[in-house]
Every structure is written in C-alpha cells, then in structure tokens.
Structure 1
Amino acid sequence: MLKTVRNIFRKLKRDVVSPVQWDNLRRLQPMSTKFGFDRGTPVDRHYIAAFLEAHRADIHGHVLEIAESSYSKQFGSQVTSFEVLHVQPGTNVTIVGDLTNTASLPANQIDCFICTQTFNFIYDFKTAIAGAWHLLKPGGVLLATLGGATQVSAYDAARWGDYWRFTTQSAEKVFGEIFGKDNVEVTAYGNVLTCTAILQGLAAEELTREELDYQDPVYPIIIAVRARKA
C-alpha cells in the first residue's frame, strides 16, 4: 500500500507538479537533486537492473551484497544464503568487515558478490577490489557497477566520501590487474540524453524504452563489470 502511494506521488510530481520541458533545460538548478528517486526510478538504477538481469545465471549459491540483499533476492536463483557485508553490525548484516582490510573478511566463501555503486565511495578502491577478490570462491563472480557521468552524492560524501568516476578503460585496467584481464568483462550503459536526464534528476519513466536502450560508450552513466576469480 505504501509503495503504491509513493508511486502515485512520484507520477503526480512528474506529470503535474514539475513536468520536464525537454526543449528548455537551460537552467542553473536541476529538476531534482535526489537522482530522480522523488520522480520515479533513477536512470542508473534502471541500468543496474538491466545488467543484473543479463547475469542472472551468476547469482546463485552464497550471494553477497553491501548493506542489504534486495538485488540478490530479486535476481538470484538457487541461492543457499543471502550474505550482507557492512563495516558496522546491523540487523541483516552477516559479515562485519571492510573491503580495504582483508584481515576483516572471510576468504574463498562467496559464489557471487553483487557490489553496486560502491567503489566510487572508497578512496583506496584498488585495495577494495582486491578485497572483493579475496571474498570469492575460485570460480566465483563479482558483479560490480561503477559511477560514470553522474552527480556527486552529497549524502555519501558527507558520511564516507565520494571520490571517483570511472571509464571503461580504467575499469578494464584495474579489475584486470587483480582478476586477470581474460576474466573481466566491462560494459558501459548510457547515452547523452540519459546522462542529461540523470544530471537533471529526471527518472527513467520520463524516457522512452528506445532512449534508454541506446548505448553510446562516450557517455557512460554506469560502468558494469563482471569479474571471475580464476
């Protein structure tokens, strides 16, 4: 019921309160500073879901996420345990640890690690990627997404920092150094229109399917990485 009410409010905001005027985006303030959450589905979340949908077959066995297990439950099949990693204990946290400190992490335990929009917020991101490798079983898969052309997250910056934006080249290089270049697949999602939308705080519902599906590697909103531990 609450979800339905929220969706109605978001649609009302999109269509009535502050409809987007695509022919006039010459403005100094964005339509929304909330990445589009207040208008519908953020564009980067649309692409994250598309990436995970394409790799459903990897999401099985012991599946790990950061802070929650929503994607594991949405896209996983034959999952034997839903693991949650966080630096602090919590209700659903099963592994208390820090990706930059392998001594705090179990080794060779995870079949699939879904790590979305996380490495951007870790200053020592290369050590954190090595921490992800450490967690995986041999043959295990990391499904990671990295921020490309997106705004700074004020919420995260105030709490632990918002440090990096990636390209396909930087992702291929750094993940290849840790997992081996033959074990890494990198995909860019986005185009100039969807980049404009996310910077303005517009929602995926304000774009057509054709607009969302068109991919231009020069304008990546997210960089998606599938990395397998050999």
Structure 2
Amino acid sequence: MVKLLRKILKRLKRNTVSPLSWTSLRNLQPLSTTFGFDRGTPVDRYYIEQFLKANTAHISGSVLEIAESRYSRQFGHGVHTYEVLHMKQEPQVTIVGDLTNPGTLPENRIDCFICTQTFNFIYDFKSAITGAYYLLKPGGVLLATLAGITQLSATDMKQWGDYWRFTTQSAAKAFGEVFGEENIEVSSSGNVLTCTAILQGIVTEELTTAELDFNDPVYPVIITIKAKKRLHGIDQ
C-alpha cells in the first residue's frame, strides 16, 4: 500500500512540473535545488537502487539502515531483523547511537549495513567507517554509497553539515584502512550527462536508460563500496 501511494504521488508530482527544455540550461539557477526530489526521482537514487539490486544476496539476516528501513525491505531477502540507527530516539529506531563513537554502538550485531549517502554528512567520516566495522558481525557486509559530483544539500548543511565529496581513490584508501584493501570493492556510477542532470535537478524520468547506464569513471555521481568484515574479529 505504501509503495502504491509513493508511485501515485510521484506521478502526480511529475505531471505538475513543466516539461524539461534542454535548450534552457544556460541559466544561473538550477531547475531544482533539492537534487530533483520536487520533480521526480533524483539521478543518484537510480544508481543507489541499481547497486543494491546487484547486491541483494548480501541483504539478509540482521540488516541495518540509517533513520529508516526502506531499502532493507525493498531489496532484502531472508531478513529476520530490520534495524534502524539514529542519534535520536524515534519510533522506528532500534539503535540509538553515533557512528563516530563505537562506545554508543552494539558490537558484532549486524549482518548487512546499508549506508547510503551518509558519510559525506559526517565530518569525522573515518571514525564513522570504524563504527560501521564495529557494528558488523565477522563476515558481515557494508553496502555504502558516497556522493561524487552532486549538489550540496542546503537542508543537511543546516541540520548537521555537508562536508565531503569523494572519489574512488579516496574511498578505497579510507575504507581499506579499516576493512583491509583485500576486503573492499569500490566502483562508481555516472557520466558527464548524469552529473549535469543532478547538478541541475534533471531527474531520472527525463533521461533514457542508455544515458543513465553509460559509465565514465571521470564523472562519478556516486561512489559505491562493498566492504566485508574480517572473519576473525577486529584485527586492524
């Protein structure tokens, strides 16, 4: 029922927006300052969902997300516990804690941690990576996405900050220092057109699948990381 309502609302929202004119991009103001959420589906969401769809085999057991459990429920299979982490106690939150402070987190509890577009909002992101490692069971998997070439989030800047944009090199070094280089897979998704799209607020519905799926590593909209915790505890 919730998914159906989302689809209906998304369709109504798109129908109220004027069609994109590709000849009108020479402007000093973007079409949307909220990544395109007010117009349809932001481009980075397309890439995030493609990444999670490709890794559904890992989304099982005890699965954790930040603030909600949407992707766990959408892409998970054999999930027996839907965990939600947040710094504040909310009805849906099962773990109140801070990723940068392992002392506030349960150790070796999570089989799969889905952490999308989060580390760029954490100033001490290296400590947050350590916190993610701490949460995972030995053999557990972190599925993370990081912002590449995108807008800044004005809303998040006011709430807690928007600090970082990543490359595949910086992600590989930072996550490799914690998980071990041999235990991570780092990639990127995007191209010059989709980078232009997310900067302007042009949405997925206004691009073709071929345009979205063409990958140029020089123009990453998002960086993806699949990181597996060592089977023999935390031996950093």
Offset from partner CA, 1:88-132 (integer Å, 9 cap, x none): 101010000000000000000100000000000000000000000
| Aligned 1:192-203 pairs, distance under 5 A | 192-203=192-203
**1:58 maps to what in 2?**
58
1:3 aligns with 2:6: yes
Offset from partner CA, 1:32-63 (integer Å, 9 cap, x none): 11211111111000000000000000000000
**2:21 maps to what in 1?**
21
Number of residue pairs aligned between Structure 1 and Structure 2: 227
Letter of the structure 2 residue corresponding to residue 109 of structure 1: R
SS, match of residue 11 in structure 1? helix
Task: Kindly state the Cα deviation for residue 187 of structure 1 after the two structures are TM-superposed.
Answer: 1.0
1:162 aligns with 2:154: no
Task: Kindly state the Cα deviation for residue 23 of structure 1 after the two structures are TM-superposed.
Answer: 3.1
Q: Structure 2 regions of 5+ residues with no counterpart?
A: 231-236
Q: Structure 1 regions of 5+ residues with no counterpart?
A: none
Letter of the structure 2 residue corresponding to residue 212 of structure 1: L
Using the alignment, how far apart are the partners of 1:59 and 1:203 within structure 2?
27
Offset from partner CA, 1:123-152 (integer Å, 9 cap, x none): 000000000000000000000000000111
Using the alignment, how far apart are the partners of 2:99 and 2:217 within structure 1?
29
Using the alignment, how far apart are the partners of 2:211 and 2:192 within structure 1?
10
1:32 aligns with 2:32: yes
Using the alignment, how far apart are the partners of 1:130 and 1:229 within structure 2?
11
TM-score norm. by structure 2 comes to 0.94
SS, match of residue 100 in structure 2? coil
**2:229 maps to what in 1?**
229
TM-score norm. by structure 1 comes to 0.96
Task: Kindly state the Cα deviation for residue 4 of structure 1 after the two structures are TM-superposed.
Answer: 4.8
Using the alignment, how far apart are the partners of 1:110 and 1:4 within structure 2?
31
Q: What RMSD, in angstroms, separates the aligned Cα atoms of the two structures?
A: 1.1
SS, match of residue 163 in structure 1? coil
| Aligned 1:58-207 pairs, distance under 5 A | 58-207=58-207
Using the alignment, how far apart are the partners of 2:149 and 2:143 within structure 1?
19
Using the alignment, how far apart are the partners of 1:156 and 1:122 within structure 2?
10
